[in-house]
Structure formats: C-alpha cells, structure tokens
C-alpha cells in the first residue's frame, strides 16, 4: 500500500539522520512526532539521557569512553524508537506528504470498518438446555483465592521498561543526587540497559522514596551552610556530628536503604539543633 511504502522510506531517512548526527536528529524527532502520541514519552527519555551524558562529560563526571558508550546506546535507542513509529504517531503539520498519507490511512481504515460492519452476523445456535443464570456466578465462586494469587504475583513482577525507568530516575534526580552511590548505580543501570536491575532498583527506591526525600530535604540546608557551621567554634560538636551523618548517603547500598532509614532520626535531631542555633 502507498502509505506503508511512504512510512518505510520516511523512517529509513530518519535512521540515517540519527546515525549521522544524534543531537540534531533528536531535535527533529520532536517536530516529527505528534505531541499527543504516547510514544513521545520514550523520546523525552532519550533526550533526557542525551542531555545528562553531555552535561556529565563537560563536568568531567564521566570519562570519554563512558560518554562514547552511552551515546552509542542512546543512538541505538533512537533507531529502535524510529523503527517502532507508526503513521498515527507522526504530526500532520510536519509536511504535506505526512498529512496526505495520514488521511489516506484514515480513509482506508474507515473503509475496512464499514466492510466489517456489513459482514453478516453468524446465526445464534439455539440450545435445548435450560439457561441457568446462576451457573456463571457459581463457576466464578468456585475459584479459590489461591487460584487468583499467581495472577497478582505475575502483575507485580512485571519488568519495568528502560524508558519507564529513565523517566522515574529523571523525575527523582534531585533526590538521588543527594546520595552519590545511589545516583552512580542509577546511571550505570541506564548505560547498561539492564531491565532486571532497573526493575529492582525502581522497586527499592520507590519503597523508600518518602524517607529519601525527607533525608535529602534535611541534609540540603546543612550542606549549603557548611562553612558557617564549621566557623562556629563554640559548637564544634555539631560539625563532628555532621561529618558522621554526611557519610551515610555515600555508603548506603543501592538495593538496601535500611542504613539511611535508621539514621534519619539522628539527622532530624541534628537539623533541629542547628536550626535553634541559627546555623541553617
């Protein structure tokens, strides 16, 4: 069909642009993709990863080799994204050709739907067996909770996609950056595209998110006023306490946050003491 041939050629050209210039191709994809399509979230995740890698390299947080590896993975992700695009994902305002083939696809779809409606409905087969309205309810009631449990467990363990994981990390980036080891772990998972690790990490962080956010909010003013705290010679004990608590986010295991949870009361006490002394 004409519209399918157009879509294939259109996507092939986009792939070439991605391989040639990743940054410019990502900018173009935002113009090409319809703002209402759900797949736009994947594009936002790709752009977020690209900007983060670019920023971290400029700040010397990651090496050249790590940057190259990350960009190649983002490029592959962009090519996969383009491959999954359908005509309905494109913005008709991008070009007259796109608009033309979107209209053609819609017309063909409407024709197919009309033919479907015009198809004769199969005759209903009559049965001599009397209808028992309670039969369906009884069969449903026969299923025990144990039979339903595996379904719930399966849904709970559904792996998180890399796009969903990266959106989660981007949403909570400020909190994660307060915990260097956690943040490094999050970046490594993203670079490796490890779905299992991404799912486990997401579950671990989500379970302790409120605690992490509170920990980060209490720790932030202490870090921002650390010079004032250190210069306050009459209260050197508070500086020593801060040094102890400062190590917690740096040593917390990425999948085991009980240490941070256990130390939160100490941080709350320290924050309250420093606040009374007008040091934060």
What's residue 254's pLDDT?
44
Using the predicted structure, report yes or no on whether residue 271 has a pLDDT greater than 80: yes
Taking a C-beta distance cutoff of 8 angstroms, is the pair 22, 82 a contact?
Answer: no
Using the predicted structure, report yes or no on whether residue 250 has a pLDDT greater than 90: no
Using the predicted structure, report yes or no on whether residue 160 has a pLDDT greater than 80: no
Share of the chain above pLDDT 90, in %: 17
* Cα–Cα distance for residue pair 198/189, rounded to 1 Å: 6
pTM above 0.75, yes or no: no
Helix and strand numbers, DSSP H then E, in the chain: 15, 0
Taking a C-beta distance cutoff of 8 angstroms, is the pair 80, 39 a contact?
Answer: no
* Averaged confidence pLDDT in the chain: 77
pLDDT digits (tens, 9 = 90+) for 43-83: 999 999 999 999 999 988 888 888 999 999 999 999 999 99
168 burial (CB, 10 Å; 0-12 / 13-18 / 19+) is buried
**pLDDT tier for residue 21 given thresholds of 50, 70 and 90:** very high
* Cα–Cα distance for residue pair 74/238, rounded to 1 Å: 45
* Cα–Cα distance for residue pair 167/44, rounded to 1 Å: 8
Average pLDDT value for residue range 19-36? 91
Q: Can you give the residue ranges of every domain in the chain?
A: 2-97, 162-276
């Amino acid at each position: 069909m004409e519209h399918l041939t157009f879509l294939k050629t259109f996507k092939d050209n986009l792939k070439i642009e991605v391989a040639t210039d990743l940054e410019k191709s990502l900018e173009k994809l935002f113009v090409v993709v319809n703002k209402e399509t759900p797949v736009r979230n994947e594009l936002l995740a790709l752009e977020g990863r690209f900007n983060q890698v670019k920023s971290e390299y400029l700040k010397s947080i990651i090496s050249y080799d790590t940057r190259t590896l990350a960009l190649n993975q983002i490029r592959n992700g962009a090519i996969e994204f383009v491959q999954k695009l359908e005509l309905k994902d494109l913005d008709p305002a991008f070009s007259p050709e796109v608009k033309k083939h979107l209209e053609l696809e819609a017309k063909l779809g409407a024709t197919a739907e009309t033919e479907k409606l015009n198809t004769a409905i199969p005759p209903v087969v009559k049965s001599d067996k009397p209808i028992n309205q309670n039969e369906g309810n009884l069969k449903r009631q026969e299923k025990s909770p144990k039979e339903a449990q595996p379904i719930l467990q399966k849904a709970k363990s559904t792996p998180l996609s890399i796009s969903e994981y990266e959106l989660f990390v981007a949403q909570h980036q400020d909190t994660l950056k307060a915990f260097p080891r956690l943040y490094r772990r999050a970046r490594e998972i993203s670079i490796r595209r490890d779905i299992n690790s991404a799912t486990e990490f997401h579950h671990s962080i989500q379970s302790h998110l409120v605690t992490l956010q509170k920990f980060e909010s209490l720790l932030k003013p202490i870090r921002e006023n650390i010079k004032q705290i250190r210069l306050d010679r009459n209260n050197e004990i508070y500086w020593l306490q801060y040094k102890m608590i400062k190590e917690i986010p740096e040593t917390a295991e990425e999948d085991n946050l009980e240490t941070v949870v256990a130390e939160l009361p100490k941080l709350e006490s320290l924050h309250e003491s420093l606040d009374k002394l007008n040091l934060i």
